Amino acid sequence: MENDAHIVVDNLTMAYGDFVLQRDLTFAVRRGEIFVIMGGSGCGKSTLLKHLIGLRRPARGTISFNGRDYWQAEERDRERITRTFGVLYQGGALWSSLTLAENVALPLEEYTELTAPRIRKLAALKLALVGLKGFEDYYPAQISGGMAKRAGLARAMALDPEILFFDEPSAGLDPISSRLLDDLLLQLRDSLGATIVVVTHELASIFAIADNAVFLDAAAKTMIALGNPKTLLAEATNPVVRNFLTRGGSMPPGGPTPPSGAGDGKHHKTI
C-alpha cells in the first residue's frame, strides 16, 4: 500500500477557451506523500489545483483517483470521489456568517448521521488539532489570518479526507506561523496517513515538506521538472528550475538551510 499511485494525471492540457495555460502534464502522486506543485506566479499552479479538485474540466487528458477516471465517472461516483477531498483555500474561505465550530460542523451535518452534541464534539476536536481550542464560538472576522487558515484546515479535515489539497498555505503568514503550519501538515500526514497536495512557491516550505514535486513553467507552458526538490536542487540542469530553487542564485546550492523566511518565489536577480 505504500508506493501505489493515488492520483494520476495523464497528458493533461489546461485551457481557458482557446488560451492554453499548460499542456502535456503527466505525473503521479503516491499514497501518503506530500506532493508540491511549484512554479512562478501566473504559471497555472492554482488552475492545476482547480482541475485536481474537479472545479474545472480538463481541455484534454485525464485525472484519475485510485485508478478511476474522474471525468469519465458518473455524477454520483464523482460526488463520492469529491467527498474524499479536503481543500484548504488560499484565504481560508470560511463562511463568514458561521462560527468556527459551525464551519467545521457543516460537512459533518451534511454527510453523517451524528447527533448535534457529537458533531459539536468532533468539531471541537478538529479545532483542537489545529491549535484553536476554545475558539469554537468565534466568527471568522474576529480571528487573525493565520488562525483563519488553520480553521480552514480544520474544516478541510472534517470528514477525514483521503486527500488534502492546500492552495498557498503560507501566503500571507509570517515565517514562524508558516513554519508551524508546515510542521502541522507533516504531523497530520504522519498520523492521518492522508495524501497531501500543496500549491506553493515558498522555498523554505517546499524543502521542508515535499516528498515529490512538479515544476510548472509559464514560458514553456508545460512541466519542466519532476522529483524531490532537494534532488532537483542538486541535480537539475534546467536553468529556470535552478534559478527558482536557489532564489535566482542568492542561496547556495548546498542547501536551503537556514530557512530564508518569506521567499516570494519570483525570479529575483542577485542583489
Partner 1 sequence: MLRFSRPEAETLVIALQGNWRERWDYPSLAAFRRQLEESPPPRRVVFDCSGLTGWNSVLIAFLMDIIDCGQRQGIAVEREGLPPGMAALLRLAHATPERAGARREQARPPALVRLGQAVYDLGQGAAEALSFIGEATAACGRLLRGRARFRRRELLVIIQECGIQALPIVSLISILVGLILAFVGAIQLSMFGAQIYIANLVGIGIFRQMGAVMTGVIMAGRTGAAFAAQLGTMQTTEEIDALKTLGIPPMDCLVLPRMIALFLMMPLLCLYADFMGVLGGFIVGVAMLDLNFLEYYHQTVGAIRLNDLWVGLFMSAVFGVLIAAIGCLRGLQCERSAAAVGKATTSAVVTAIVAIVVVTAAITVLCNILGI
Nearest distance from C-beta of residue 266 to partner 1, angstroms:
22
Among 4, 69, 77, 160, interactor with partner 1 by CB under 8 A = 160
Q: Are 157 and 126 in contact (CB under 8 A)?
A: yes
Dmax (CA) for the chain in angstroms is 59
Give the footprint of partner 1 on residues 89-118 (CB under 8 A).
Answer: 95-97, 111-115, 118
First to last CA, the chain: 47
Q: Which of 255, 215, 217, 214 is nearest to 234 (CA)?
A: 255
Sheet holding 34-39, edge to edge: 85-88, 163-167, 195-199, 34-39, 212-217, 222-227
Nearest distance from C-beta of residue 131 to partner 1, angstroms:
4
Give the footprint of partner 1 on residues 185-204 (CB under 8 A).
Answer: 187, 190-193
Among 12, 129, 156, 163, interactor with partner 1 by CB under 8 A = 129
Give the footprint of partner 1 on residues 214-233 (CB under 8 A).
Answer: none
Per CB under 8 A, 1 contacts partner 1: no
Nearest distance from C-beta of residue 121 to partner 1, angstroms:
5
Q: Which residues are CB-neighbours of 9 under 8 A, at least 6 positions away?
A: 25, 26, 27, 28, 52, 61, 62, 63
Nearest distance from C-beta of residue 158 to partner 1, angstroms:
8
User: DSSP character for 269?
Assistant: P
Q: Identify the H or E element spanning 10.
A: strand 5-16
Nearest distance from C-beta of residue 96 to partner 1, angstroms:
4
Give the footprint of partner 1 on residues 130-159 (CB under 8 A).
Answer: 131-135, 137-141, 157
User: Is the omega angle on the peptide bond into residue 258 within 30 degrees of 0, that is, cis?
Assistant: yes
Among 45, 50, 51, 126, interactor with partner 1 by CB under 8 A = 126
Binding residues for partner 1, rule: CB under 8 A, are 95-97, 111-115, 118, 121-122, 125-126, 128-129, 131-135, 137-141, 157, 160, 187, 190-193
